Structure 1
Amino acid sequence: MTTTAPAPASASASTAVAVPRRRRLRALGGWAIVVAIVVVGVVVTLQLGAKMPAARGVLDPEGTGDSGAQALAELLRDQGVEVSVQRSRAEARAAVDESTTLVMTNPYTLTDDGLAELIAPADRVVFLTTGTHLLSELGIGESGSGTSAPVDAGCDVPEFARVGTIRPDRSFVPAAGVTGCFGDGESAAVLVDDGDGIRRTVVEGDRLFSNAYLSENGNAALGLALLGQTERVVWYVPSYSDTDIEGSAEPDTLGSLTPGWVTPAILLLMIAGVAAALWRGRRFGPLVAENLPVTVRASETMHGRARLTAKASDAAHAAEALRDGARRRLAKRLGLAVNARADEIADAASDRLRVPRGTLQPLLDGPLPQDEPGLVDLARRLDELETAVDETTQAMRRPE
């Protein structure tokens, strides 16, 4: 019988050392691949970001996002109106004539003299957004408090006769001699000034003429009534690249305020951090499921939060919780999305209960009560509203 001599001890030791070494090399190789992928991803992202066009601003006639106004510009072109987009005030002024409507958002990048020079040759000027300074400069009115409920024109401007109703985004108090439209008598969403033979119109159109809201109510009709009265529209887009405001000096940046050695030090720290991660990094094992030692029921959590709210006498917080729950339940019962806005839920509930629109907005989105009697009253009214909606829903499902 033959016997096999045992392997030398040195060979066994070298094999035992080689196995952990290969594992470490394999782990370092995996980390190197991850770092390479991250670096390549960052480089590609920077390249794509440098090549992408700059984002358009609010109510930009070439903006395709929710806040842009390309839909309104295309609607005007469909009606035979020539829309000329200008991003230079000199070119915009040269393009204006008697058969042109000059349109722009709040020209915050222009001085008062620059604005006066721009609108001087125009017979019709429409400001789609405005600010307090612009209202004061035009002498057309001042900011006021209005309502977000649907309103009709309520004025004798012929263009607005067939607009229908809109939901004002902002209301103004018209100055003497200025016509206010789409308001409640004291304030208006649209101001029209025909002084000196020049028609100047001011409206806050962020939620009226943007791509996201143009199709709601009479927003599109109002846009056509404001901008579609002439054969051509010169749409000037204000920007800081076309400003006549002269700054005294360039603003300080973080790079100009820090010493020159800060950037190399930050880079060195980042490299040291990556090296330490590769050196001391460990591979995590598989996830282990572990049961909690105790079970906390949802009812106990609810009662605990209720006791905290009661102890703090925070009626407003409790009212907001009640209102949020009521809105979610009403949205589900009315067939709306879970994230539907309060005004949408109020309008749908008003239609279901056949009550005038606008009566339920204060209940679902009005001021919160600050004391316990107000909280109790709010809870009672919310419960009555949900009960009424449930009864109408059951009546609709009941066979004739």
Structure 2
Amino acid sequence: MNLRARWRIGVWALVVALGVGALAAIAMATTPPGAVMDPEGVGPDGGAALIAVLEQNGVTVETSTSIEEVTDAVRQGDDDTSIVIANTSNLGTTAAATLRQESVGVDRIVVLSPNSEQLKALRADATALLSGVFVPIESRCDIGTVDEGDSLIGIDTRYETATGSSGTKACFPLTIQTEDGSDDGEGDHGAGLLQLPSTSSHPQMTIVGSKTGFTNGTITQEDNAAIALRLLGGSSRLIWYHPDISDLANSESTEEGGGLLPAWFAPALALVATSLLVLALVRGRRLGRLVREPLPVVVRAVETTESRGRLYRRAQDRPRAATVLRLATVDRLRSRLGLRRGDSVETVARAISAATGHPVREVLDLVAGPEPTDDAALVRLAQDLSDLEEKAHRP
């Protein structure tokens, strides 16, 4: 094969690769972020179980996937109606503002895990901050829909309100525990649930910082089911709003950009394509057959591990060493207990607890607890992880 034929094949291969890459980027940009709380979903992330229980309790549930359907349903219904935005991943700011304008007369709006931009569009005086708390949190409030002592698991977002917000009630306060075991500033770090009173801009609104707390896989844990029924079953009619990608596309940010892709995407793609083409032309004549070269030395894996450990010790990097030990232990236990690689640490901890008899909290402290402060603590952590791994067996 001569040089010209090789050059032609290389150019066509480059064109095909760029085309496939562009299609993949467009597909990723237009694919919905997820189907959490899908009203028809029967898997762990779906919401079909909650809908079935609501209907058994006499609540008429109407599902809508676009803001137009929600608007029509609100106009056709009566005042004894509630709305739940079950998945805010595809809720654009324009759709949120339209919902606020059209739903002033309904009983209540329940929004699951909205961000700050969506809250601003809904005229809700609150700010969203990531939480990452996946342990049960006690309510410490009594607001009718939530009783004192209720426990909720699955909170992933916390909310803070402006100072002096009148009528706003907060539940499930997030606290930081100090070294002496006391709570540091209860409520100063936000709350997992806010109940905002009705105003001229919006009806009574309940903001819940959880996308997964009411799913099929989590609804039966703690008091999640009771809280969900009180929040969503207070009216005889419930509009279950599960926005699709069109409501995200109609947001103000995409209207300014003129599409789903950012404005810089096309020029960047053209620049990358040109650069690759020039590189192919420059390097094309230098292509030759592959030549194998023997490695000068062979390094055993145990020597690499020991050298890395000495580096950690010399740098006093105990947190990094603890992280490596914990990740390796969790990976091995996932394989031993027949779990998937994508399973969360909480799922692995529950499986380890069932296999070893240790409490879930104790297992979580071992595999995802605080970092060791000295060498002795690091050695104890390594020994405890080794003991935990020896006791674990596949149930």
Normalization by structure 1: what TM-score?
Answer: 0.63
Q: 1:376-391 residue pairs with structure 2 within 5 A?
A: 376-387=379-390, 389-390=391-392
221, 229, 241: which is aligned to 1:235?
Answer: 241
Contact (CA 8 Å) 1:126, 1:226: kept in 2 or not? Answer: yes
Q: 1:315-326 residue pairs with structure 2 within 5 A?
A: 315-326=318-329
Partner of 1:180: 171
70, 74, 83: which is aligned to 2:63?
Answer: 83
State the shift of 1:310 in Å. Answer: 1.2
Aligned equivalents of 2:254, 2:98: Cα separation in 1:
9
Secondary structure in structure 2 of the residue aligned to 1:358? helix
Partner of 1:354: 357
State the shift of 1:364 in Å. Answer: 0.9
State the shift of 1:312 in Å. Answer: 0.9
Q: 1:217-366 residue pairs with structure 2 within 5 A?
A: 217-218=219-220, 221=225, 226-227=231-232, 230-233=236-239, 235=241, 237=243, 239=248, 241-243=250-252, 273-277=279-283, 280-285=285-290, 288=292, 290-338=293-341, 340-366=343-369
State the shift of 1:334 in Å. Answer: 3.2
Partner of 2:213: 208
Aligned equivalents of 1:231, 1:142: Cα separation in 2:
28
Contact (CA 8 Å) 1:141, 1:173: kept in 2 or not? Answer: yes
Task: Give the gaps of 5 or more residues in structure 1.
Answer: 1-22
> What is the count of residue pairs matched by the alignment?
353
RMSD: 5.4
Task: Give the gaps of 5 or more residues in structure 2.
Answer: 176-182, 257-261
State the shift of 1:365 in Å. Answer: 0.7
Partner of 1:148: 134
Once the two structures are superposed, what CA deviation does each residue of 1:184-222 show, in whole Å capped at 9, x if it has no partner? 99666444457689542211233335xxx6433538946
Aligned equivalents of 1:182, 1:214: Cα separation in 2:
25
Contact (CA 8 Å) 1:95, 1:234: kept in 2 or not? Answer: no
Q: 1:101-120 residue pairs with structure 2 within 5 A?
A: 101-104=82-85, 105=88, 109=93, 117-120=101-104
Counterpart AA for 1:235: Y
Aligned equivalents of 1:44, 1:330: Cα separation in 2:
38
State the shift of 1:246 in Å. Answer: 11
Once the two structures are superposed, what CA deviation does each residue of 1:79-137 show, in whole Å capped at 9, x if it has no partner? 46221333358657645642432233397725998775344122121111234573995
Give % identity.
24
Contact (CA 8 Å) 1:84, 1:232: kept in 2 or not? Answer: no
Distance 1:35 1:153, change over 3 A: same
Contact (CA 8 Å) 1:152, 1:164: kept in 2 or not? Answer: yes
Aligned equivalents of 1:242, 1:92: Cα separation in 2:
21
154, 162, 171: which is aligned to 1:167?
Answer: 154
Counterpart AA for 1:284: R
Normalization by structure 2: what TM-score?
Answer: 0.64
Aligned equivalents of 1:189, 1:214: Cα separation in 2:
20
State the shift of 1:314 in Å. Answer: 1.0
Q: 1:58-137 residue pairs with structure 2 within 5 A?
A: 71-72=46-47, 76=51, 79=55, 81-88=61-68, 94=75, 97-104=78-85, 105=88, 109=93, 117-131=101-115, 134=119
Distance 1:354 1:93, change over 3 A: same
Contact (CA 8 Å) 1:124, 1:198: kept in 2 or not? Answer: yes
Counterpart AA for 1:85: T
Once the two structures are superposed, what CA deviation does each residue of 1:342-382 show, in whole Å capped at 9, x if it has no partner? 22222122223334433321221122124323323322332
